[in-house]
Amino acid sequence: MSADNTITVKFFARLREELDTASLTVEAESDLTAGKLLQSLAARGGSWTQLAGAHPVMIAVNQVMTKPDTVLQPGDEVAFFPPVTGG
């Protein structure tokens, strides 16, 4: 798997802790959207099932907030995280 054909996936805060994962990589596929990637991760079972909709998950692609129908490109950085609570 070449680095050029992968997508980096990052998790933050409660998701990072409960999934015990700060980041992982997946292979890019044609027509893969952020929403489809989220569903495929939820299918891993265990604590990953919470990604299927039990809690709101915000999505950023290349550090910009976006919607689930965003199509992912090789080299993209996707982040999934709970609603933000700074300030």
Partner 1 sequence: MIRVQQEDFDPAEEYRALRDSGSGTGAIATFTGLVRDSGDLKGVTGLFLEHYPGMTEQVIEGLVREASGRWDVREARVIHRVGSLALGEQIVFVGVCSAHRGDAFAACEFIMDALKTSAPFWKKEITGDSEHWVEQKAADLDRSQSWE
| Residue 63, helix vs strand vs coil | coil
Please state the closest distance from residue 30 (CB atom) to partner 1, in A. 26
According to the binding rule CB under 8 A, does residue 12 interact with partner 1? yes
In the complex with partner 1, the residue whose CB is nearer, 30 or 87, is 87
Whole-angstrom distance, CA of residue 17 vs CA of residue 20: 5
- Residues recorded for the chain: 87
In the complex with partner 1, the residue whose CB is nearer, 33 or 66, is 66
According to the binding rule CB under 8 A, does residue 35 interact with partner 1? no
Sign of the CA dihedral running 87, 48, 63, 59:
negative
C-alpha count within 13 angstroms, C-beta hemisphere, residue 83: 2
Pick from 1, 20, 30, 87: which binds partner 1 (CB under 8 A)?
87
- Site for partner 1, rule CB under 8 A: 10, 12-14, 16-17, 60, 63-65, 79, 81-87
